[in-house]
Structure formats: structure tokens, C-alpha cells
Amino acid sequence: MISRDEVLELKIESVAFEGKSIARVDGFVVFVAGGVPGDVVKARVYKKKKDYAEAKIVEILSPSAHRVEAPCDYFGYCGGCRWQHLDYAEQLRFKRQHVIDALERTGGLKIEVDPIIGAEEVYRYRNKIEVTFSGRPYWIHEGDPATVALGFHAPGRFDKTIDIRHCHLADENINAILNWFREAIDPQSNINREFELTIYDSMQHAGLLRFLTIRKSFDSGEYMVNLVVLEEEERIGRLAEMLHRDLPFVSTFATIVNRSRAQIATGEVGRVHFGSGYITEKLGKYRFRISPLSFFQTNTLQAEKLYGAALEGVGQKQEVIYDLYSGTGSISIYLSDIAEKVYGFELIESAVKDAEENSRLNGVSNVRFFRTDLLDLFKGSDPVGNFGGLGIPEPDLILLDPPRSGLHPKIASNLHLLGAQKIVYVSCNPMTQARDVKEIVSHGYALVSSQPVDMFPQTYHIENVLTLRKV
């Protein structure tokens, strides 16, 4: 029997979700943080439950052939990239396997899953990073001097922030902006002496600086900086001038004001201190305006591949497409060429506004967006009547791109009532996707294809495009 504090010699067999790996002792599962399949390790048990134990590596006795050196100083502390120690081919293999397992185990569905579409750029791929200003740094090493931090939350420690000096998922300009602000909050720096910047403290609901969001357009090379603050203050204007002078590649700077206690990097757009207040990115032949509060896929290059996979799923030209969970309309617009009419449905008003703006920007006139709660349309006895009430024709094809939690059960069970010949389901969570598709299939649809796309190298996340046909 395994007991707490015991040191075991383990051979890592596979990876589990959330970056843990799995080993077995006489069939008993031991989760090991940071193991790579093929590693032989010594690990100390720190948790013992009825069905499993958790252990921490003390020594790697023989490394796996797939183990690589993680380039990041914060690897193992920061929750962002859990798989930097796994070579990329192996990451892709596990991601595809995760899709297969979810479909089989959660969905009871068997289908040949297509080879995963991997990324060419496996670092520096993000077009956005969002960091927190904090007066409570997470000390990685005993005696770390920092008293303030700008970076990501330490996993499981929502009150603490890791001071990130370099994020490998972002390019050097994004990192330069990050470090400019780090210097600005350093109590010893000239910038701070001049501006007396304070950091927001959630207990006291006081302090100026809350979050920093940096975005980049891969197409135009523009950079947008958004500072989330408790209040709009005059000194932010002077800080912006200084940033503009020091880092001329920053194209635009705007504040976002968040007066609420909720620690979220959003609020109302405040002053645009310089530049236009937005950047423009391109996906395929379409251009998208990204404003401080707009949602946009964070990996531009892979977003094109994901939408390409959706386009492939759609196949030949359609009369009427419904894009459910249309967000800022990027998929609707991307599909506008291959349909007579596209109707997008989205809950958030500002996203619908962005979607309409983006259609205009691209001269696309055959898409229309509805601001609506999809649950309202699907509940009750007559979803078809609810959609009909909007004065639009029935769909030939439905595209779905819901949040991670997937479809509401009412939507999954009533979707078939709309009678679409085809359904294309884009998901960032294979588990909820498999659960939903199991339901959809039970109402007379068959799986046609499954195409995984890797949007987030170095993490365990995976997107999957499933295509279904009415039988």
C-alpha cells in the first residue's frame, strides 16, 4: 500500500488533463506533476486518496526521449504553459488523443479523427497578453526582493501574482511594453518618483493600476496598450506621453476604467491618450477592428487554420447558415462567401456592435446579427416558431462555437428541431463537445469528421471542429 511521504520509483505512462502525468503502482493511479511519458522518476507522495495518489518529482532517474528543456524561468510556477517540457510532436499527439478519448468515453462515439493541424510558431504566437498589477508578489525563490509585481496569477493562489519579466508566448515588443510598466511601478524608479503610481488593492478597494492589456496585429504590426485603472486621472495622460516617447512602436493607448470590486480586466473605455483607440487585424482576406474591449482569437495565425477547418466542414455553398454564439462575427464573416445568407446570434451587445462594424469594414452585406440569449430561443415548446418570429428562413447549416461549458442541455436537445442538413461544431473543450454531440446524434445526426487544431502550443488546450450530417 502507498502511504503519504513515501518516495516511489515510477515510470510515467501518459499525460492527464491540466498538465499532470500518470504513473501506476500495481494498477493504482499516481498523478505526477511535471512528468513526461517515458520518464523514470523518484517521486514523493504528498496526497493519498482512495482511488489515486499525487506525487511530486524528487529526481529524474532516466528522462523520456520526449523531454525537452523548458525555456521559461517561470515554468512550473506559472499556470500558463504546462507542457513546455514536452516536445511539440508529442504535445500534438496527446492533444489528438484527448479528442479521441473524449469522443469515445464521454460521447460513446467512434470516428477516425483527422491528423491534428499543428502550429508553425510554437512560441511568440499570442496577439494579446493580460497582466495584473499587484502589491502581493508570489515569491519563487526565498528572499526574492520584489515588493510589487506585474504578471500572471500563481495557480491556486489568486491573491498572489508572479512577476513576469519575459513571457515566451509573446514577442519582444510586447515584452518591452510589459517591462516598461514594470519599471514604472518599481518604487525606486524615476517614473514612479514622478507619478507616484499606486497599485490597486482589492481589500481596500483603493489604488490606481489594476491590469495591463497589450495587443498586437500580426498583419499591420500595430500595438495597442490598455491600462485598466480604478479612476481616470490626469497623470495617466502624462504617463502615456512618456510611453509614446520611450516606445514609439506603440500605436495606440487607451484607459479602461473599472470602478467595481470585481477583479476583471474590463470596464468602460476611458480616454484614448494617443492613436486611434483600436488596431486592425486580418484573417484570410478579411479585416477586423479590435477595440479595447473586443474579443478576438488570441492566436491569429492558427485562427485562420481553425476557420479554414470550419470552412472545410461547411463544404459546398449553402443557402442559409446560422452562426450560433457568433461573438464579434469573425466566423460569420469568414463564411459569408460560401452562403447566400448568414445569421449570427450573440448575447453580448458590444460584441454584436463589433460584428456589425466588422461586416461593414469588409463590405459584407449578406450577414445579419441578432442580440439574443440563445436559451430564450431554444426553450419552450416551439423553438422553430421562436426563430421564425425573427422573420428569417430556416437554416441549411448550423455553425456552433459556444463557450468552454458547451451547449445548454435544452439547446443540445432541441437543436435538431431547426432541421439543418449539416452542423459544424467548433469547440475549445472536447469533453463538453462530446457530451453535446452525443445528444445531437441521438436526434438523427451522424458524425462526418473531426478536425483538431492546435491554437495554444505549450498548453494542454485543444480546439476541435466536428461536422455532422442529418441522417
- Residue 342: CB atoms within 10 A of its CB come to 29
Q: Which three cell numbers stand for residue 92?
A: 500534438
- Given a contact cutoff of 8 angstroms between Cβ atoms, the answer to whether 272 and 95 are in contact is no
Among 99, 351, 397, 453, binds ligand SAH (CB under 6 A): 351
Residue 346 as a binder of ligand SAH (CB under 6 A): the answer is yes
- How many residues of this chain interact with ligand SAH, rule: CB under 6 A? 18
- The least CB distance from residue 383 to ligand SAH, in Å, is 13
Helices (H), 295-367: 300-314, 330-335, 349-361
Decide whether 9 or 373 has the Cβ nearer to ligand SAH. 373
Residue nearest to ligand SAH (CB): 327
What b/e readout covers 273-297, taking b as 16+ CB neighbours within 10 angstroms? Answer: bbbebbbebebeebbbbbbbbbebb
Strands (DSSP E) along 373-461, which ranges?
Answer: 397-400, 422-427, 445-453
Report CA Rg, the chain: 24
Q: For the purposes of burial, counting CB atoms within 10 Å of the CB of 146, is it exposed (0-12), middle (13-18) or buried (19 or more)?
A: middle
Residue 409 as a binder of ligand SAH (CB under 6 A): the answer is no
- Given a contact cutoff of 8 angstroms between Cβ atoms, the answer to whether 395 and 368 are in contact is no
Decide whether 58 or 375 has the Cβ nearer to ligand SAH. 375
Site string for ligand SAH, 251-290 (x = CB under 6 A): ----------------------------------------
| Rounded-to-integer distance, Cα 286 and Cα 334, Å | 7
Give, as ranges, the residues between 291 and 320 that touch ligand SAH (CB under 6 A).
295
| Rounded-to-integer distance, Cα 459 and Cα 70, Å | 12
Residue 331 as a binder of ligand SAH (CB under 6 A): the answer is yes
- The least CB distance from residue 455 to ligand SAH, in Å, is 12
- The least CB distance from residue 183 to ligand SAH, in Å, is 35
Residue at 290: amino acid letter: I
Q: What are phi and psi of 141, to 5 degrees?
A: -115, 140
- Given a contact cutoff of 8 angstroms between Cβ atoms, the answer to whether 46 and 31 are in contact is no
Nearest 5°: the CA angle 214, 426, 333 is: 70
Residue 373 as a binder of ligand SAH (CB under 6 A): the answer is yes
Residue 383 as a binder of ligand SAH (CB under 6 A): the answer is no
Q: Which helix (H) or strand (E) holds 218?
A: none
Decide whether 179 or 266 has the Cβ nearer to ligand SAH. 266
The helix/strand/coil state of 251 is coil
Residues with a catalytic annotation lie at: 428
Decide whether 221 or 403 has the Cβ nearer to ligand SAH. 403
- Given a contact cutoff of 8 angstroms between Cβ atoms, the answer to whether 110 and 103 are in contact is yes
Interacting span for ligand SAH (CB under 6 A) from 40-48, 152-160, 198-206, 397-405: 397-405
Among 401, 439, 454, 463, binds ligand SAH (CB under 6 A): 401
Decide whether 12 or 468 has the Cβ nearer to ligand SAH. 468
Decide whether 91 or 358 has the Cβ nearer to ligand SAH. 358
- Given a contact cutoff of 8 angstroms between Cβ atoms, the answer to whether 310 and 336 are in contact is no
Which of 147, 143, 129 is closest to 211 using CA atoms? 129
Among 19, 80, 327, 430, binds ligand SAH (CB under 6 A): 327
Residue 370 as a binder of ligand SAH (CB under 6 A): the answer is no
Site string for ligand SAH, 155-194 (x = CB under 6 A): ----------------------------------------
Residue 374 as a binder of ligand SAH (CB under 6 A): the answer is yes
DSSP of 54-76: EEEEEEEEE--TTB-----TTBT
- The least CB distance from residue 346 to ligand SAH, in Å, is 5
| Rounded-to-integer distance, Cα 103 and Cα 123, Å | 29
Among 403, 409, 419, 444, binds ligand SAH (CB under 6 A): 403
Interacting span for ligand SAH (CB under 6 A) from 9-17, 71-79, 202-210, 370-378: 370-378
Binding site for ligand SAH (CB under 6 A): 295, 325-328, 330-331, 345-348, 351, 373-375, 401-403
